[in-house]
Amino acid sequence: QVQLQESGPGLVKPSETLSLTCAVSGSSMTSGYYWGWIRAPPGEGLEWIGSMYHSGSTFYKPSLQSRVTISIDTSENQFSLRLESVTAADTAVYYCARGRGNTGLFDFWGQGTLVTVSS
Partner 1 sequence: DIVMTQSPDSLAVSLGERATINCKSSQNVLYGSNSKSYLAWYQRKPGQPPKLLIYWASTRESGVPDRFSGSGSGTDFTLTISSLRAEDVAVYYCQQYYSSPYTFGQGTKLEIK
Site of interaction with partner 1 (CB under 8 A): 38, 45-48, 51, 59-62, 95, 97, 100, 103-107, 109-112
**Closest CB to partner 1 among residues 16, 100:** 100
d(CA 89, CA 8) in angstroms, rounded, equals 18
Compute the least distance from the CB of residue 41 to partner 1, in Å: 12
* Distance from C-alpha of 31 to C-alpha of 77, rounded to nearest angstrom: 12
Whose Cβ is closer to partner 1: residue 42's or residue 75's? Answer: 42
CA 70 to centroid of chain Cα atoms: 7
Nearest distance from residue 30's CB to partner 1, in Å? 21
Phi-psi region of 76 (alpha: psi -120 to 50; beta: other; left: phi over 0): alpha
Q: Which is nearer to partner 1, 12 or 49 (CB)?
A: 49
Cβ proximity to partner 1, 51 vs 91, nearer residue: 51
Q: What is the side-by-side order of every strand in the sheet holding 3-7?
A: 3-7, 18-25, 78-83, 68-73
Query: Least distance from C-beta 58 to partner 1, angstroms?
Result: 10
